[in-house]
């Protein structure tokens, strides 16, 4: 096992690295290597004029005094970085910084513009591995970047309130093999603790929420804890008749319409009254199938990511613009080593 791990660690992590180690003798080898080098140069170019303008426009005072006594000291320009980004010095604390100091882009080595392609890849339902290959980055870079995406999207569903007609249901994700709970050496049947439940809801305007609510089949309290703050009082709840929805309906004084599974089973989507929420589940399963080995502890973060992608469905330009606007306001430093150490 030791030798196997050593061999795996020594494998090239990027496309360019693998071609660097390949035979480049002869016309074919030289052409291939030159082409890959050209791709890499395009993927990892220096920040463009537009990117530097964007970063410079984000200046908002000294980032080191944000959590202090509230006094905003004068900041003056102090030259530019090697990449051309404006640098400042604070007259109060004497520290130098750039407009992205203290954000998730702090100490970046790869242009922010590469995030455009990364977000497009995620919105196109690509796996992290494929997104990394497309961007010609190491696989670990994809895992690091998606951790930053999670941080940017934290709380993105908090203010969503569904109104008028609201479809409610649950969907489930299997536990990984290493985390299975066994009973006498066998997996329990049915909706056991080996399944992670996500309570979902969608209204007639297309607004959606997806909130994890523990393992196994949820009771009324868990469903209410997940969806209670996301459904307006007096709304009409359309559901499959599960008893766990009763408490939600009662406390929010909602009217209801039930369509039991026995009634809808086998119906084509166009005639299924629950298809409004079933459609969300279909896209969710397709999206998560690309990330099948995701850590179950990160389920809430993955639901936030899908919610964001689904809200921008068919509009990758909208997904990119919304994400970058949120990202540049996310004041949190996320160092590679610290993030990847937690992921082991």
* Residue 11 reports pLDDT greater than 70: no
- Residue predicted with more confidence, 320 or 6: 320
Confidence bin at 24 (pLDDT 50/70/90): low
pTM: 0.78
Residues in Cβ contact with 111 at an 8 Å cutoff, skipping those fewer than 6 apart: 44, 45, 46, 47, 48, 51
Instruction: Compute the CA torsion angle 307, 132, 48, 88 (nearest 10 deg).
Output: 70
Cβ pair 239, 258 in contact under 8 A: yes
- Amino acid 6: pLDDT: 46
Residues in Cβ contact with 286 at an 8 Å cutoff, skipping those fewer than 6 apart: 125
* Residue 7 reports pLDDT greater than 80: no
- Tokens 């996310």, located at residue: 330
Domain boundaries of the chain, sorted by first residue:
165-311
Reported as a single tens digit per residue, the pLDDT across 278-329 is 999 999 999 999 887 788 889 999 999 999 999 998 888 899 889 988 887 7
Whether domain 165-311 has CATH 3.30.420.10: the reply is yes
Distance CA 28, CA 188 (A): 57
Cβ pair 13, 138 in contact under 8 A: yes
- Amino acid 259: pLDDT: 94
Q: What percent of the chain has pLDDT over 70?
A: 80
Reported as a single tens digit per residue, the pLDDT across 86-133 is 999 998 888 898 888 888 887 666 677 778 888 888 899 988 888 877
* Residue 68 reports pLDDT greater than 70: no
Between strands 236-239 and 165-174, the pairing is parallel
- Amino acid 4: pLDDT: 47
Instruction: Compute the CA torsion angle 311, 313, 318, 319 (nearest 10 deg).
Output: 70
Q: Phi and psi of 112, rounded to 5°?
A: -60, -30
């Amino acid at each position: 096992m030791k030798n196997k791990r050593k061999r795996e660690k020594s494998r090239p992590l990027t496309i360019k690295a693998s071609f660097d180690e390949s035979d480049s003798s002869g016309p074919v080898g030289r052409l291939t290597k030159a082409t890959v080098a050209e791709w890499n140069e395009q993927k990892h170019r220096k920040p463009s004029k537009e990117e530097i303008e964007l970063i410079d426009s984000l200046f908002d005072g000294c980032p080191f005094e944000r959590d202090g006594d509230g006094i905003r000291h004068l900041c003056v320009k102090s030259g530019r970085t090697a990449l051309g980004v404006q640098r400042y010095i604070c007259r109060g604390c004497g520290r130098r910084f750039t407009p992205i100091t203290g954000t998730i882009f702090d100490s970046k080595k790869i242009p922010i513009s590469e995030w455009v392609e990364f977000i497009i890849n995620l919105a196109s339902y690509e796996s992290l591995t494929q997104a990394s290959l497309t961007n010609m980055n190491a696989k670990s870079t994809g895992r690091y970047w998606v951790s930053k995406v999670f941080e940017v999207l934290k709380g993105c569903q908090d203010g969503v309130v569904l109104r008028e007609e609201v479809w409610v249901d649950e969907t489930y994700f299997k536990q990984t093999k290493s985390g299975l709970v066994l009973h006498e050496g066998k997996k329990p049947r049915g909706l056991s603790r080996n399944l992670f439940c996500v309570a979902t809801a969608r209204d007639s305007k297309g607004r959606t929420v997806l909130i994890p609510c523990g393992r196994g089949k949820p009771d009324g309290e868990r469903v209410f804890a997940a969806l209670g703050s996301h459904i307006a009082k007096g709304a009409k709840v359309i559901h499959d008749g599960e008893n766990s929805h009763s408490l939600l309906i009662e406390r929010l004084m909602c009217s209801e319409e039930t369509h039991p599974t026995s009634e809808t089973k086998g119906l084509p989507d166009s005639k299924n009254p629950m298809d409004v929420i079933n459609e969300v589940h279909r896209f969710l399963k397709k999206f998560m199938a690309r990330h099948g080995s995701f850590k179950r502890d990160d389920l809430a973060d993955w639901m936030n990511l899908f919610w964001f992608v689904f809200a921008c469905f068919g509009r990758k330009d909208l997904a990119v613009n919304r994400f970058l606007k949120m990202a540049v306001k996310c004041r949190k430093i996320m160092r590679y080593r610290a993030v990847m150490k937690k992921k082991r």
